[in-house]
Amino acid sequence: MIDAATPISPLGLTRDDFARAGAMRGVPLPHARKAYARFYRERDWAAIPDLPRTVIAPIVNRLDEPCAEGVTTKFVQRLDPPDSGRFADQGVPHLDIESVIIPMIGRTGRKGHTLCVSSQVGCAMGCGFCETAQMGLVRSLTAAEIVGQWWAAREILIDEGGAGVPIDNIVFMGMGEPLDNLDEVLKAIACLADHSGPGMPMSSITVSTVGRVDGLRRLVEVVQQEGWKRLGIALSVNAPSDEVRNEIMPLNKRWGMEELREVMLDLMKVRASRKLLFEYVLIPGVNDSDEHAQQLGDWLRPFVRSETQGHIGLLNVIPYNPRRNSPWPAPSEASVTRFIEAMSGQGVYVKRRRTKGRSQMAACGQLGTSEIRGRNYTPITTNKSAG
Ligand code: SF4
């Protein structure tokens, strides 16, 4: 049992880090390790006396949308009070994090869920098609706040009698650019993958980035470490050329598509066992023409196939989910099909991401708190030391 005046929260820590922190307060290592496992596995708050329930931010809003596989649930956790009051001064009433539980049915018919987590409140990257971008960056989340989303999602599923329907996958595709907050994201992943804690397989966790090349270079090192080799990495490409990408993703002006491809090739070299995921939000009139498909196929060529590894890259085509006040509509079915066929015709391994949660603003690119959108507290940061 951890017994100290100010309890150490296990959220965002690995079992060993938690035990080490306990040892500094005189708690024997075996006791701390057991307490950690009881907390996560048995949801036993008594394992850590005096740990306030508020370490998990309360859920203040929840929206459910039925789909073929079950129910997509977007939930909002509130991190109030704002850490220094500076956001309140600027008219941001609450610091809210949004996460989405997406039901899945596997090939064998087994039911499960993918949890989409946020890594920041808002985002500084300014992608033109994204709801979150409208908020600007408010602040980055701590590892504990990221793991708190997993905890809250598990509680939702258990409350609904779904204890046997687990969270199978975690994707960092919610609010924020994970590589803009990489230290805390890596800490959170270490915790989520801890066998005594949440116990998520590393292969079931995917970090999705819009292409911070500095952060991707760090990931090239990370995925060579023991225990991290199976971490999923997804790149939101979303454009076939610098010309188009500069228009919709300002980050591309800092790191262009050639540099991006080089770092993805470095990743490919060090992780023979794992496919790279490329995402492509298909936006009518922006990136969906036959010529665009041809250009994208050329850019993806090195990832298409290798003699020893088969397909190395998977292209996930995501029909655009219009954000609020979007200048673009969703693409037609015919144009999605045409684009997918054009990619497949070039030998690209391509899949279509089914749209779930669109009507509740819970679909990809639609997370964002409407009451604080339109604000830009932090300019786009692309300094190399941050990633
Ligand atoms: S798409 Fe991702 S990186 Fe771009 S603004 Fe939205 S949340 Fe940020």
Q: Is 130 a catalytic residue?
A: no
What band does 383 get if pLDDT is binned at 50, 70 and 90?
very low
pLDDT at 122 over 50: yes
Residue 156, CB half-sphere, CA atoms under 13 Å: how many? 29
- At residue 373, the pLDDT reads 40
pLDDT at 87 over 90: no
Ligand 1 in reach of 241 Cβ (< 6 A): no
- At residue 321, the pLDDT reads 85
What band does 351 get if pLDDT is binned at 50, 70 and 90?
very high
Beta strands in 300-376, from DSSP E residues, in sequence order: 313-319, 350-352
Which pTM value belongs to this model? Answer: 0.89
d(CA 262, CA 279): 17
Q: Which amino acid residue places its CA nearest to atom 4 of ligand 1? A: 127
Same-domain check for residues 189 and 62: yes
What band does 85 get if pLDDT is binned at 50, 70 and 90?
low
Same-domain check for residues 44 and 80: no
- At residue 384, the pLDDT reads 34
Ligand 1 in reach of 116 Cβ (< 6 A): no
336, 317 contact by CB (below 8 A)? yes
- At residue 253, the pLDDT reads 97
Average pLDDT, the chain: 86
Give residue-wise pLDDT tens across range 182-199: 999 999 999 999 999 999
Same-domain check for residues 177 and 39: no
Ligand 1 in reach of 132 Cβ (< 6 A): yes
Q: Identify the domain boundary among 53, 71, 96.
A: 53
Give residue-wise pLDDT tens across range 253-291: 999 999 999 999 999 989 867 889 999 999 999 999 999
Task: Supply the range of the domain harboring residue 235.
Answer: 56-377
Total number of domains constituting the chain: 2
Ligand 1 in reach of 133 Cβ (< 6 A): yes
- At residue 1, the pLDDT reads 52
302, 339 contact by CB (below 8 A)? no
Asked which of 57-71, 80-94, 249-263 is least confident by mean pLDDT, the reply is 80-94
- At residue 284, the pLDDT reads 96
pLDDT at 364 over 50: no
Same-domain check for residues 107 and 223: yes
pLDDT at 310 over 60: yes
217 burial level (CB within 10 Å; 0-12, 13-18, 19+) = middle
Instruction: Work out which ligand 1 atom sits closest to the CA atom of 173.
Output: 2
Same-domain check for residues 3 and 63: no
Same-domain check for residues 151 and 286: yes
- At residue 73, the pLDDT reads 92
Give residue-wise pLDDT tens across range 365-379: 555 544 434 333 333
Mean pLDDT in residue range 293-318: 86
Give residue-wise pLDDT tens across range 19-40: 999 998 888 999 999 999 999 9
Mutation pick for ligand 1 pocket among 125, 172, 182, 209 (CB with most ligand atoms within 8 Å): 125
Instruction: Please report, rounded to a whole number, the percentage of residues in the chain having pLDDT higher than 70.
Output: 84
pLDDT at 354 over 80: no
Same-domain check for residues 41 and 151: no
The residue written with tokens 């036959």 in the block is 290
Residue 260, CB half-sphere, CA atoms under 13 Å: how many? 24
- At residue 300, the pLDDT reads 96
Q: Are strands 232-236 and 276-282 parallel, antiparallel or unpaired?
A: parallel
Same-domain check for residues 45 and 170: no
- At residue 106, the pLDDT reads 80
Q: Residue 144 falls within a domain, yes or no?
A: yes
- At residue 382, the pLDDT reads 35
Non-local (6+) Cβ contacts of 126 within 8 A are 133, 249, 250, 251, 380
- At residue 114, the pLDDT reads 92
Same-domain check for residues 100 and 14: no
Same-domain check for residues 264 and 335: yes
Residue 159 belongs to a domain with what CATH number? 3.20.20.70
CA-nearest of 338, 249, 264 to 304 is: 264
Residues in the chain: 387
Same-domain check for residues 278 and 130: yes
Q: Are strands 167-172 and 205-209 parallel, antiparallel or unpaired?
A: parallel
